[in-house]
Amino acid sequence: MSNIMNSLYNMRILDDLARKETAIHKIHPLVKLLTTVSYLTVVVSFGKYDIGGLLPLLIYPSMVFALAELPVKPIFMRILLVSPFMIGIGILNPFFDHQIYLLGGKEISRGWITFLSILIKSGLTVTAALLLIATTGMDRLAGALRMLKIPRVFVLQLLLTYRYISVLMEEVARTLRAYSLRAPEQKGVHRSAWGSLAGQLILRTFDRAQRIYEAMCLRGFTGEYHTGGFKEIRVWELAYLAGWVLFFAAARIYNIPMVIGSLITGVIR
């Protein structure tokens, strides 16, 4: 029970973090969105055996973490939340892909390489997405999506889902609290109550959602979600975008660890 309340508060940490005022937070949301999208594109474009090439891309999340003064732990915990999916997708690779791959003189199955590459890629993409939310906030992000002319139905859906998750979880927490107080001997919810509990919950959530929607309509909501005006994109923000895009492109075209390695070995020779 307390877990649900905790995760509710934890969930809102991203909103709290987004309210900081560091240099990264002040960057125009559209610029951050485009940077993230180009980062994601580059990360997923790497081949499935190409782990070395992915490594330089670690620089981007590390820089954002540092510059935006974000705590690593809560964001890392969220990445762990999706880790079962990542493992689920990749775990069978070592069994199916038996070809031998030589790594530093040792033979390993190529399946392990692809598994590792899936883990790294999903880790990097999820981190980048979380960093975007933690430095921008959902409302401003939605504003940026609207600037890109994403249809308002989709943007609204995204925003309201994000908002209603907490509404639903509050209802869950309240219902479970009431249940557990009258069923002190039980661990969790007995299966005989699952149906009615879930049913109650969905009805209550409908009611709640209806009231929130009415409150929105009463204040002039007509389907467009206004998040306030944005400032013009400044030159240094464009430079931020251009800088990262160039770096991502370079990391995609050249195998940077290999280049550095051969430079160093060249110097030594």
Which spans of this chain sit near another protein (rule: CB under 8 A)?
12, 15-16, 18-19, 137-139, 163, 166, 208, 211-212, 214-222, 224, 226-229
Using CA atoms, how far apart are residues 137 and 163, in angstroms rounded to an integer? Answer: 12
CB closer to another protein, 16 vs 50: 16
CB closer to another protein, 120 vs 133: 133
Using CA atoms, how far apart are residues 18 and 231, in angstroms rounded to an integer? Answer: 17
CB closer to another protein, 34 vs 169: 169
Q: How far is the CB of 246 from another protein (least distance, A)?
A: 33
Using CA atoms, how far apart are residues 85 and 8, in angstroms rounded to an integer? Answer: 21
50 Cβ partners below 8 Å, 6+ apart?
117
Q: How far is the CB of 72 from another protein (least distance, A)?
A: 22
Which stretches does DSSP call E strand in the chain?
Answer: 100-103, 106-109
Residue 111 has a CB neighbour count (10 Å cut-off) of 19
Match 């959530």 to its residue by tokens: 205
Q: How far is the CB of 247 from another protein (least distance, A)?
A: 32
CB closer to another protein, 181 vs 218: 218
Q: How far is the CB of 139 from another protein (least distance, A)?
A: 6
Using CA atoms, how far apart are residues 95 and 111, in angstroms rounded to an integer? Answer: 7
User: Could you give the 3-state DSSP secondary structure of residue 254?
Assistant: coil
CB closer to another protein, 48 vs 174: 174
Tokens linked to 256: 């940077």
Using CA atoms, how far apart are residues 136 and 15, in angstroms rounded to an integer? Answer: 9
Which residue from 76, 54, 198, 66 is spatially nearest to 126, judged by alpha carbons? 76
H runs (alpha helix) in 219-255: 235-253
Q: How far is the CB of 35 from another protein (least distance, A)?
A: 22
CB closer to another protein, 5 vs 63: 5
CB closer to another protein, 190 vs 211: 211
Q: How far is the CB of 9 from another protein (least distance, A)?
A: 9
Q: How far is the CB of 208 from another protein (least distance, A)?
A: 7
Q: How far is the CB of 240 from another protein (least distance, A)?
A: 24
CB closer to another protein, 54 vs 133: 133
DSSP string, 201-220: HHHHHHHHHHHHHHHHHHTT
Match 């973090």 to its residue by tokens: 17
